[in-house]
Amino acid sequence: MISNKTLRSIVLVAFCLVSVLGTAVFAASDAERVIRPLYILTRPQASSPDEFESATLIANAMKEVGIDARVKVMPWEQMADLVWYERTKWDMTGWQMTARPERLDPDEFTYNLFHSSTAETGYNFVGYINPAYDKVAEQQRVTVDPQKRKELIMKAQQIIADDAVYDFLVHQKIGIVYNNQVFAPDSIKEMAGLGIKNFWTYIYATPVGAQKSMILNSNDTVQAVNPFYISGTVDSWVTELIWDRLMRMGIDGLPKPWAAESVKWIADDQVKVVLRKGMKWHDGKPVTAEDVKFSFEAPMTGEVPMYKPFVSIIDKIDIVNVNTLIFKLKKPWAAFETACLAKINIVPRHIWEPILKDLQQKPENAESYQEKVPVGSGPFKFGSWKFSEEIVLEANKSHFQAPKIEKWICRFIPNMEATLGMIQNGEINFLATYVGDPQLLEQKVKADPKLTMVSSVDLGYRFFAMNLRRPPFNDVAFRRAVLALTDRWLIVDAVWKGFAVPADSVVSPALEFWKNKNLNYPEGGVEEAKKLLKAAGYEWDRKGRLMYPKGKKEELAPAF
Amino acid sequence: MRVNWKFFAKRFGQMLLTLWIIATILFFIFRLMPGNPLVAYIDPTFTQEQQEILMRQFGLDKPLWQQYFVYLGNLLQGEFGDSFFYKDSVVDVVSKVLPNTLYLMLLSLVVAYVIGVLGGIVLAWRRGEKIETVGIVFTLFTRAAPQFWVGMILLAVFSFKLNWFPSGGSSPAGVVYSSELAKLLSPSFWHHLFLPALTLAIYLLGLPLLLMRSSMLDVLGEAYVDMAMMRGLSERRVMFKYAARNAALPVVTAMAVGVGYAVGGNVVVETVFSWPGLGRLLVKAVSASDYPLSQGAFILIAAVMVFMNFVADILYSLLDPRVSLDGRG
């Protein structure tokens, strides 16, 4: 017989054991639920102070809700390699999209960045998969009617905000400075989303004094001057000026006929183009419809891989008469004018046909071919190119839109501080590139009456991308909390010193027509973030560390 | 002097071996470094097909060992390949900027060594005097001052304040020289070269000066110098003809190696003065993972340096007969 006393002891010991074990089990499952340290990738402070400081601010805000967020610094080349080619191995990364004329149409940002088809190897490196979004992105592509398309673009912006795909930061204000004693101020043209550094300024800029050339700066050099190679930034400024295109992006951000006298949609998938009469190549030969057809067909071959995506929609091109062509598309494409007609350089067939034929026998393609003297039909002719130093273009006085300046000279100046001195002492008269402190630039301009600064909201934007393939970023509630924690106004003031506006979508406020101004975008700081997390079942352990909702545990090791 | 051919052959073999090791290290180091040449092309319109085409074009689709042997084979034929980004042969790309680098580096080297050697002689001769203290402090200052800082100060004063010199490049905007000779004969080229060369010379000055000074101090203790003084020869004659000539030995070696280093350019000075030289190109090539360009340029630099070391050895033996070429002296 067991005595009562013994029984009581056994029960007591059993109870103690159960409670100790229970606590241990509970504690273990708690520890497993704590979210691992999350790493925010950024470029170094020295090369990208804004990105680094924003990352620090976001990490600090995340810490306030119990997330062990850490800033991880990497050079751009290493970071891009990791983000792009090792898509499951990072948590969050700083990123940016830059302004380019063809991005004035929202298609590229709407489709290529978020469509599920680009998730595996394309630009949807965050891994966003949403069939409902895919449908909207596809529809806007084929909706030629602007009003109907606008509704779709608005809807796409709202879905991206609702799903908190990107943690948007800002659209930068681009401050470009020119010498008002060299150029008449009303001849400097501001373009929506691109500022005054644009094609139209180069065409219309009118010298008022003895200096007849525009001397501008870039911190990058020219890699190649080739109408079939998309390479560096300056290369694209140069090709835009030497080679004509059927259309050009106008000052209002919409495509306008250029080398084409008219561009008419004769069906949803057919465009009739009438070529301007009397155009000549820089070598004196006339520009013909054959040249135009050749220019659009060349990228369809394997010899011009970079331009291929822009012409792959074309089914065939018919020449109706000497100056009329009809483009037949495989299916309607709303951005056709912007992304194709205003993008493809028109090249002389008599020069490039033999070159391409010759290249077919070789491993190289058209991208590696450098003409000694590039020949286009554009408003500027190739002048000279001093490697690593400068490129000079000369005005084509017989062009239908001949520039007012005599030469366009781009100097490659890696020393940003020196460019400030150069614009002041007249060594350059158009400060096209400036990546230094915007406040300092503003002060210099204010102190010098011959300088004028035009500040415009950029088409491009900065953001932090979250890896949707990796928990907890696969949970929309968690992502919305991160967005709420990102104080974009603080970033505008503290990081950008006011030279930026907060961003909430891929469409810049500079594009009034396409911008969804009534976006419902997560915000509200720490309190709101905590509310969102709590509602989604997230909890905090005794040390205040954020844990996954019950039933989930951390399965990933820290990224670094 | 008897020419020792066996010694030459041996040194030549060693040179080739060194270059092969360097070429091998270069090949692997750039490929093991984080980064990827395709990164430069990342764009919303960048397709899988384009990525594959580029990999094939760059020859990066083959296994590493295969790439290595292709590379070695090409090197043996003097073929460095084409730059990934400039789409031009490495030799052509490098030769576009190499002359500028040589003008800048050699000019500053010559200026630094002439002033440095003379300064070193004077400071050693005037040992213990005030001029020595001032001279040494000044030299240490020039050696310790960061080049970008000296460059920016020179720019701020002589270019932006006084407007005496242009602030960047090797020629005025829009000016093209018809040939390399025309460039060298043009005053505006020298006008552009002045500030960067001065910046570099200020930095380079310290080594020959201090080296010459300490070497002179050794020599000045030798009996033959006292002997020369006792013979009543002039101070200048003893200083230059007897002492300096013997003290110059380590400086000559240092200069030969300095010329070797010069080929690599100087990225800091080139960046501050926007000088179109090899240093800037190299930094860009390495950061963009332009393997052929980085490899080719570094092999070229290594070859010149190895060769200049060889030259230094020979010069040494010519200047000091006690040092024999076969190393038994």
Task: Give one DSSP letter per residue of A477-533, joined into a string.
Answer: HHHHHHHHH--HHHIIIIITTTSEEE--SSS-TT-TTT--TT------HHHHHHHHH
B34-69 residue pLDDT tens: 778 887 787 777 888 888 888 887 888 888 888 898
Q: What is the dihedral of CA A22, A27, A33, A38, to 10 degrees?
A: -170
A15-66 residue pLDDT tens: 555 555 555 455 557 889 999 999 999 999 888 889 999 999 999 999 999 9
The total of other beta-carbon atoms located within 10 Å of residue A166's CB is 25
- Percent of chain A that is helix, strand, coil (3-state, to 5): 35, 20, 40
The span from the CA of A198 to the CA of B22, in Å, is 46
A299-317 residue pLDDT tens: 998 788 888 888 989 999 9
A265–chain B nearest CA distance, Å? 25
Confidence band of A5 (pLDDT split at 50, 70, 90): low
The span from the CA of A111 to the CA of A123, in Å, is 10
A48–chain B nearest CA distance, Å? 15
Give residue A246's pLDDT: 97
A435-484 residue pLDDT tens: 888 889 999 999 999 999 999 999 999 999 999 999 999 999 999 999 99
The span from the CA of B51 to the CA of A143, in Å, is 30
Candidates A388, A419, A423: best to mutate against B (most CBs of B within 10 A) is A388
The span from the CA of A539 to the CA of A123, in Å, is 34
Place of tokens 């009739």: A272
Instruction: Output the pTM of the full model.
Output: 0.85
Give residue A317's pLDDT: 96
Give residue A437's pLDDT: 84
Contacts of A363 in chain B (CB under 8 A): 57
pLDDT for residue B158 is more than 70: yes
pLDDT for residue A493 is more than 80: yes
With contact defined as beta carbons under 8 Å apart, do A275 and A263 qualify?
no
The span from the CA of A231 to the CA of A233, in Å, is 7
With contact defined as beta carbons under 8 Å apart, do B127 and B219 qualify?
no
Burial label for A355, CB within 10 Å (0-12, 13-18, 19+), is middle
Give phi and psi for A314, each to the nearest 5: -75, 130
With contact defined as beta carbons under 8 Å apart, do A124 and A83 qualify?
no
Task: Give one DSSP letter per residue of A447-459, joined into a string.
Answer: H-TTEEEEEEE-S
Q: What is the dihedral of CA B175, B176, B177, B180, to 10 degrees?
A: 120
With contact defined as beta carbons under 8 Å apart, do A499 and A172 qualify?
yes
With contact defined as beta carbons under 8 Å apart, do A247 and A335 qualify?
no
A406–chain B nearest CA distance, Å? 11
The span from the CA of A237 to the CA of A223, in Å, is 12
The span from the CA of A405 to the CA of B57, in Å, is 40
Confidence band of A517 (pLDDT split at 50, 70, 90): very high
B199-246 residue pLDDT tens: 999 999 999 999 999 988 888 888 888 888 888 888 888 888 788 888
pLDDT for residue A9 is more than 80: no
A199-213 residue pLDDT tens: 999 999 999 999 999
Give residue A212's pLDDT: 95
For the four alpha carbons of B267, B175, A454 and A244, in that order, the dihedral sign comes to negative
Candidates B83, B164, B274, B294: best to mutate against A (most CBs of A within 10 A) is B274
**Beta carbons of A390 and B173 less than 8 Å apart:** yes
pLDDT for residue A13 is more than 80: no
Which of A495-509, B96-110, B239-253 is least confident? B239-253
Give residue A326's pLDDT: 96
**Beta carbons of B171 and A84 less than 8 Å apart:** no
pLDDT for residue A134 is more than 50: yes
Residue of B nearest to A311 (CA): B45
Q: Return the structure tokens found at A43.
A: 């470029």
pLDDT for residue B20 is more than 80: yes
Contacts of B164 in chain A (CB under 8 A): none
Three state DSSP letters for A19-51: HHHHHHHHHHHHHHHECCCEEEEECCCCCCHHH
Candidates A43, A115, A415: best to mutate against B (most CBs of B within 10 A) is A415
Contacts of A112 in chain B (CB under 8 A): 44-45
pLDDT for residue A277 is more than 90: yes
**Beta carbons of B44 and A112 less than 8 Å apart:** yes
Residues 6+ apart with CB under 8 A from A357: none
The span from the CA of A263 to the CA of A229, in Å, is 26
Q: Residue B138 in 3-state DSSP? A: helix
Closest CA to A426 of A210, A179, A119, A186: A179
Give residue A179's pLDDT: 96
Give residue A249's pLDDT: 93
With contact defined as beta carbons under 8 Å apart, do A430 and B286 qualify?
no
The total of other beta-carbon atoms located within 10 Å of residue B22's CB is 18
Within A218-298, residue ranges assigned H as helices are: 233-242, 289-297
Name the average pLDDT for chain A.
91
Residues 6+ apart with CB under 8 A from B103: B184, B193
Check if B168 contacts A (Cβ < 8 Å): yes
Place of tokens 């009397």: A278
pLDDT for residue B314 is more than 90: no
CB-nearest partner of B274 from A74, A97, A414: A414
The span from the CA of A416 to the CA of A403, in Å, is 28
- Percent of chain B that is helix, strand, coil (3-state, to 5): 75, 0, 25
**Beta carbons of B155 and A421 less than 8 Å apart:** yes
Confidence band of A3 (pLDDT split at 50, 70, 90): low
Q: Give how far the C-alpha of residue A331 lies from the chain's centroid of Cα atoms, to the nearest Å.
A: 26
Give residue A231's pLDDT: 77
Query: Cis peptide leading into A472, omega within 30 of 0?
Result: yes
B284–chain A nearest CA distance, Å? 10
Q: CA angle at residue A97 from A218 to B51, to 5 degrees?
A: 90
CB-nearest partner of A392 from B166, B174, B287: B174
Check if B24 contacts A (Cβ < 8 Å): no
With contact defined as beta carbons under 8 Å apart, do A559 and A70 qualify?
no
pLDDT for residue B316 is more than 80: no
CB-nearest partner of B86 from A224, A422, A427: A224
Fill in the amino acid letter for B94.
V
Contacts of A367 in chain B (CB under 8 A): 87
Name the average pLDDT for chain B.
86
Confidence band of A558 (pLDDT split at 50, 70, 90): very high
Helices (H) and strands (E) in chain B, counts: 16, 0
- Once rounded to an integer, what is the mean pLDDT over residues B265-272? 88
Q: Please, how many CA atoms are within 13 Å of residue B94, restricted to the half-sphere of its CB? A: 24
Give residue A14's pLDDT: 60
pLDDT > 90 fraction of chain A, expressed in percent and rounded: 76
- Once rounded to an integer, what is the mean pLDDT over residues A518-540? 95
Give residue B329's pLDDT: 40
A69–chain B nearest CA distance, Å? 24
C-alpha pair distances (Å), B310 with each of A96, B8, B12, B75: 50, 10, 9, 22
Give residue A266's pLDDT: 93
The span from the CA of A190 to the CA of A198, in Å, is 8
Higher model confidence: residue A26 or residue B275?
A: B275
Closest CA to A218 of A424, A451, A434, A386: A434
Give phi and psi for A265, each to the nearest 5: -85, 110
The span from the CA of A86 to the CA of A560, in Å, is 13
**Beta carbons of B274 and A425 less than 8 Å apart:** no
**Beta carbons of A388 and B276 less than 8 Å apart:** yes
Question: Which letter does DSSP use for residue A178 in this model?
Answer: E
The span from the CA of A21 to the CA of B4, in Å, is 86
Within A163-209, residue ranges assigned H as helices are: 199-204
Question: Which letter does DSSP use for residue B159 in this model?
Answer: I
CB-nearest partner of A121 from B48, B171, B280: B48
Residue of A nearest to B95 (CA): A387
Q: CA angle at residue B154 from B148 to B158, to 5 degrees?
A: 155
pLDDT for residue A156 is more than 50: yes
Residue of B nearest to A82 (CA): B35
Q: Return the structure tokens found at A315.
A: 């089914």
Tell me what ipTM this predicted complex has: 0.85
CB-nearest partner of A389 from B36, B163, B169: B169
A135–chain B nearest CA distance, Å? 19
CB-nearest partner of B44 from A108, A364, A388: A108
With contact defined as beta carbons under 8 Å apart, do A453 and A176 qualify?
yes
A77–chain B nearest CA distance, Å? 5
Q: Residue A278 in 3-state DSSP? A: coil
Give phi and psi for A172, each to the nearest 5: -70, 155
With contact defined as beta carbons under 8 Å apart, do A276 and A286 qualify?
no
Q: Return the structure tokens found at B304.
A: 């010149």
A345-358 residue pLDDT tens: 999 999 999 999 99
CB-nearest partner of A112 from B45, B96, B170: B45
H or E stretch at A321: strand A314-321
Q: Return the structure tokens found at A28.
A: 């273990």
Q: What is the dihedral of CA B63, B68, B74, B79, to 10 degrees?
A: 100
Contacts of B173 in chain A (CB under 8 A): 213, 215, 390, 409, 411, 427-428
CB-nearest partner of A418 from B93, B97, B274: B274
- Once rounded to an integer, what is the mean pLDDT over residues B115-133? 89
With contact defined as beta carbons under 8 Å apart, do B202 and A420 qualify?
no
Q: Residue B312 in 3-state DSSP? A: helix
Give phi and psi for A294, each to the nearest 5: -60, -40
Closest CA to B106 of B258, B284, B312: B258
A247–chain B nearest CA distance, Å? 20
Give residue A89's pLDDT: 94
- Long-range contacts formed by A56-64: CB under 8 A, 24+ apart: A57/A486, A57/A487, A57/A490, A57/A491, A57/A494, A57/A495, A58/A167, A58/A464, A58/A482, A58/A485, A58/A486, A61/A485, A61/A486, A61/A487, A61/A525, A61/A526, A61/A529, A62/A38, A62/A482, A62/A485, A64/A485, A64/A526
